[in-house]
Structure 1
Amino acid sequence: MRRPARPPARPPRRAAALLTAILLPLSLLTALAAAPAPAAPAHAAGTLTATFTTEGSGSSWQGKYVVRNSGSAASTDWTLEFDLPSGVTVSGHTHGEATVSGSHVTVKNAYYNGRVPAGGSTEPYSYTFTGRGPIGTPTGCTINGDKCDGTPDKPPTAPGTPTVTTATSRTISLSWPPAGAGDYPVTTYEVLDGDRVAATSTTNGATVTDLTPATRYTFTVRAKDRRGNTGPQSPPVTATTVDPATDPTPPTPPGNLRATGKTQVSASLAWEKSTDNVAVAAYDIYRGSTLAKTVPASATTATVEGLTPATAYTFTVKARDTADNASPASNAVNVTTDDAAGPGNHLKVGYFAQWGIYGRQHFVKNLDTSGAAAKLDVINYAFENVDPVNHTCLAGVVKGVSGNPQDPDEGTGAGDAEADYGRAFSAAQSVDGVADDGWGKLRGNFNQLKKLKAKHPHLKVVVSLGGWTFSKFFADAAATPASREKFVKSCVDTWIKGDLPAYNGAGGPGTGAGVFDGIDIDWEWPGSEGHPGNRWGPTDKNNLTALLAEFRKQLDATGGAHKLLTAFTPADPAKIEAGWDIKKIFEYLDFANVQGYDFHGAGSDNSWEPKRTGHQANLHRDAQDPYPFDFSVEKAVQTYLDAGVNPRKLTIGFPFYGRGWKEVADGGAKGEWQSANGAAPGQFPEEAGTKGYHNLLTTVPNLTVHHDEQSISTYGYTGNNGQWWSFDDPWSIGKKTEWIRSKGLLGGMIWEMSGDTPTGTLMTALDNGLK
């Protein structure tokens, strides 16, 4: 019984070595960047206060906040926030971990001065910074969410009297003069129907919806500041919804709907005005049959956001009058969004293995020194796990795998918070040459990825969930609407919002914000077998589609820049049919990375194809292939294209490693498709049959490299009864990238970056081939 196309060669064994954090002298404490936590809701003043003083003069001076405790019990920790005076910048933070976002500074206590005794202060270890610019006192200071001077917050004033701008049978639109600010800027207005919040707005206007026709309503408005303080209510306004019986005539349809622009995630539209016997109240823009956006009657343009790249959409517009009569639809307009790479460009995606920092000694820094970071567009950080009990995204644990690839529980509950954000890297291992201290809230690979992104601003980084060893509980997480919502929320909270669990002094709310720009789903495999012990079944296919829809929904809801949603998808047509509804999933995915390797191999446990060699990453089917099935890049891609997938939604996988056999007969074919006796020695003892490209070329003696022009395959042979290896090299990468461009595909993906040479030989070949 043949083994279907394998998942990528992802080493299942992850070193459990931990590095004890190195504590530097207090005088060398340096603040590390961490995303500011959202402002706490207003509450009574606490017992901590903070007093600001300055020392020095001229353009460089010292600012210091002394935290004092007037209460009867010691504090356990503190967070200080303030806004810098105009023209002032700060650096050289000591005795606290600071984040600077524009002029706003957030400071978390150092590990040694969070406890402030009753009646005591943080002296002599009070937070201090070096200021540049005119000496001045910061404003808006809070300590643990309370004003630093200990006085209660002053809320906003009441807004002015609202006026009714539009009334329909089911909606009333209001505007009002803005409220005056108290101690903090106004961020939100609430429209009240009695005690019920009927609508919220960030501007001084709002529309109350879902009202009853021909009904009288009275509304007031109140302001809320960024700290959650609410002001008094405005004077009331009374309005009556329209009685639809008084106006049965709908508006005329909007005319000449047309597309005026598009991006990867939006489409801009324009149309001609409708007319109505009373008045047009609004225009409703539909994406297919789904209401996508509503704009007021004064607008004849709209931009629909929240779309996915390289996806075809059909839009129509309907006018609606004050009686909520809808017009006939406008003409339909079709828009295909731009792809993720941009017109004429190709995407390069590379996996970075979390555990590579151990035996491989491959660090995030190596992506920079090899030149790969400048050439890559997206880094997939592999892998994070699914909690075996809660079926949520698992983080904050340090638990190795069992070491037995046939163990059904090999990856259950495993993870490596130490590699993720706990390890303190030395200066020699750091992207910017600056060592981590031992108490920063974000260390490890995550901090290095943030440094790499700062150095290469074009780079996006996504977190890859699952993989061969960590896909066991995907089916449980995706099983029901409730479980999907719970799972996705946990993933967004952990990896996008950065709420990392506490680990060895690291982690905490928001500490991982800014590391990841999206999420990559590596479920291996829905609807069919994968790692021994995986949960799977016939409902996985539909549940996967629903899971991706939930990810897209919640990622979009985070706001800000578009968050990537990608997936690693199979080459085997049988696995595609069993678990991937490729006519639907690309509505939610930015793109998919199609498996382009592991078509043949011996495997570390000799359970796969130990008795015969075979190409692992051939572009075309080899005419000499004795197997009855066809595994090739071409075959895999055609399966997707035949289903109508836009080619600019697909990248093709390239192996930066080889698959090898031992005791291979020559057979007059240089070992190609010949008998063998198991997997060749691997780069590591537990990874028989697998070597990174650089390791392969430098450790296998007498290896002669051959190129199969017909199938576009590279292989190496050491001679009769020797080793035989299948891999990609610059020659095959050049041929494959030429084919990718000819098919109009999006680009290439790499598993995984540590296999390349120190100077990035394969990455350079891929980059050159996709230009």
Structure 2
Amino acid sequence: MQDTALRRIFPLAALASVAALGLTACGSDEAPPAAPAGVTVQAGTATSVHVMWRPAPERSGITGYEVYRGGTKVKDVPANQSMVDITGLTPSTPYTFTVRAKDGDGTYSPYSAEKSATTPAAVAEDKKAPARPAGLTGKSAGPRGAQLNWTRSAKDEGITSYDIYQGGSKIHSVAGGATSARITWLRPGTHYSFTLAARDAADNTSPVSRAVEITTPKGPGDDPDTAPTAFRAASHAADGAYYVDLSWVAPKTGAEVTTYEIYLDGKFATTLIWGGETPKGRATYSVYVGKRAGDAYRVKLRAKLPDGTWGRFSEERPVVTREAP
């Protein structure tokens, strides 16, 4: 029992980050990022709006986005996402949104074009969910995309939006009048399962549709391997406690990777979410493992990818807690 207690995992506090403020300093030769393009805004329910924009190109240096309602910032969004739900709004009210990007130097882009939406009226005591969406079909749209289509409901059920899921992760949302959607940020040579759910103004959600299975083709030069690379593990002692020290290089997904799962001895130990900008090059993190020297562990980790799936595990490394020299 004592050994089990010593081997419990207590994740470290989220890593702190310092947010750069304002515009580029005078005299800087660095051009600011381009303003986010393709911004769309649509009411999801009577109290929420869905904001989307076109993902930045690969190797653009973008590390995150800020979403503004009027002149007020309402959301920080990591670089591997290009959509967000804004909640807590008032029914039957017009809202205007803009988005801006920032890069690793803390330089901000111009604001995007303003886009507006009006939340629908609240429906009192509406607890009836829309019917399950029918007729979902899909096909690949190149190595990194998919096209989905479905049948419009024969009944007027007050549908305000459709949410698209890949596995258990919501990855896209479109207006209630839509019958198709284009999905991006997928990986070449990868099998996907998509489902669809309808929402109404009272935020009632339908059962999910049947799943549609799609496999993206592998294009020339595309490598779907998603495991972190150059993975290393060591240990150190500090203040009577022992830590496993990890370092790795993030997989190349076309966007920043902000979330990882860490496993010890084949079992899930903790989730790491970078609280600010993700590390450039080699990332490092330490996990508390107890107060006894000489305990042996096997450690590995995997990344959450922009398409909502978990990537392949890194190589598994052995490590033994050791006394400080």
When normalised by structure 2's length, the TM-score is 0.49
Q: Which one has the largest radius of gyration?
A: 1
Please identify which structure carries the higher helix content: 1
Q: Which has the higher contact order (CA 8 A, sep 6+)?
A: 2
Task: Name the structure with the higher strand share.
Answer: 2
TM-score (norm 1): 0.24
